[in-house]
Amino acid sequence: MTVMKKNQIKTVKGFNEILPPESFRWRRVEDQFRNLLEGYGFAELRLALLEPTELFTRSIGGETDIVEKEMYTFLDRSERSLTLRPEGTASVVRAFNQYSLGKISEINKLYYVGPMFRYERPQKGRYRQFYQLGAEVFGEASFYQDAETLVMLAQFFRILEIDGVVLEINSLGCEACRPSFREQLKSFLIEREASLCADCRRRLRENPLRALDCKNPTCREAVVAAPQINESLCADCQEHFSSLCGLLDDVGLDYQINSRLVRGLDYYTRTTFEFLAGELGVQNAVAAGGRYDRLVEELGGKATPAFGFAIGFERLMMLAGDKLPLSSPVIALIPLAEEALRLLFPLYVQLNRQAKVATLGFQHKSLKSQLKKADRDGVGYALIVGPDEMAKGAAICRNMQTKEQTEIGFDSLEEALKKLYHQ
């Protein structure tokens, strides 16, 4: 644990920061995410972190944990209510409408990477500032889109060599079939009102679905025999869901149907899903999302079907982190005298100009200490030049793994280094 001096300033509680060398791993995973999504035709959106509060109350829903208890909301200097975004979907929809993206292209596939803010109780895998890798597709109502996204996510986990992630899916129906299910569920819950937690009791009349996903043990118990939404789906929703399941079967993507999967945000219609990993403990959802065919219109745009997901970056790294190698400088240039430093500096500049990663210390540290640092940085080779090497006109090249050392004449340094970078 780091010891803080009294007058030092710390981050806000639960705000997660990523330091080296972990930040190298994050970059690699982020690059892999970008490559994968761009391969599937997605393009990046970089959006505002701060939004009018109304954007979230209208999209996520007034009777959800996020809006009721978890938003960082404040008045700015002109008394406008602003909120640090608790998730990305609402902002992407806001941008989709604001920039009329639907007019530019019939299908829009957009992704984002960045921090989200929720005032939750910090614990393992749960932070108040956390990061998401997310994506949203607009303009495609077909179940093929749902399947494509799920397959792509599963592929991402495979690329990162993450095993043991289970996909759960459900359908929440649409405006045609959900109202009658809500009524059924409401009557069922009213009979058991006394065993529900205060939140579920309060939300019971306006938003009974929340009880299905409440973590409170007495609520869980109370909803065991509750009506199941997938038994109330209209023919179109039923068809959409069974076609999706059929496609997932065709491509061999395993899934479990979980009829309690209602998600903590109100905008979903039809498909919802979560990728769960037991290894994560209590906060076991590594990615989640679904279809939200009404939200674009509800936020003032033209009716447009949409489907998306977000991956929790911290949770993803808990599953993938240690398996990923750090990206390290290939070569450490190690001078043992001022004249050696003078000789190596132009080489160092040249290597870095060619985007070949190298390090060079300016502080005249001992050989031992410079080699120790190179080891810590995970460097492949050390190029050592001391007074003896200056006199000889040849540097020592040390393979940091095998400890094998060879001599390279100064006049053939450039050629020799080229080979090392290509190994």
Name which of 301, 362, 298 is nearest 336 in CA terms.
362
Q: Cα Rg for the chain, rounded, in angstroms?
A: 27
Helices and strands in the chain, H and E counts: 16, 16
CA distance 341 to 120: 52
Nearer to ligand HAM, 138 or 348 (CB): 138
State CA 43 to chain mean position distance. 16
Rounded alpha-carbon distances, angstroms, from residue 120 to 44, 117, 276, 277: 28, 9, 20, 20
CA distance 37 to 333: 37
E strand or H helix that includes residue 344: helix 338-353
The CB-side HSE value for 120 (13 A sphere, CA atoms) comes to: 17
Which residues contact residue 236 at a Cβ distance below 8 angstroms, ignoring those fewer than 6 apart? 174, 176
Query: In what side-by-side order are the strands of the sheet with 306-312?
Result: 43-44, 108-117, 129-138, 306-312, 285-291, 271-277, 165-171, 256-257
Place of tokens 């990523």: 18
Least separation in angstroms between CB 288 and ligand HAM: 4
Pairing assessment for the beta strands 285-291 and 271-277 based on DSSP bridges: antiparallel
Three-state DSSP class for 126? strand
Rounded alpha-carbon distances, angstroms, from residue 20 to 24, 78, 166, 357: 6, 39, 31, 16
Q: Are 97 and 256 in contact (CB under 8 A)?
A: no
Which residues contact residue 204 at a Cβ distance below 8 angstroms, ignoring those fewer than 6 apart? 186, 189, 190, 193, 196, 211
List alpha helices for 192-263, DSSP H: 198-203, 217-222, 235-250
256 phi/psi in degrees, rounded to 5: -125, 140
Residue facing ligand HAM at closest CB distance:
312
- Indicate the residue type of 375: D
Three-state DSSP class for 80? coil
Least separation in angstroms between CB 92 and ligand HAM: 8
Structure tokens at 347: 């080489």
Least separation in angstroms between CB 28 and ligand HAM: 19
Positions touching ligand HAM (CB under 6 A) are: 87-89, 118, 120, 125-127, 130, 132, 134, 136, 264, 285-290, 308-310, 312, 314-315
Least separation in angstroms between CB 131 and ligand HAM: 8
Structure tokens at 293: 């065919």
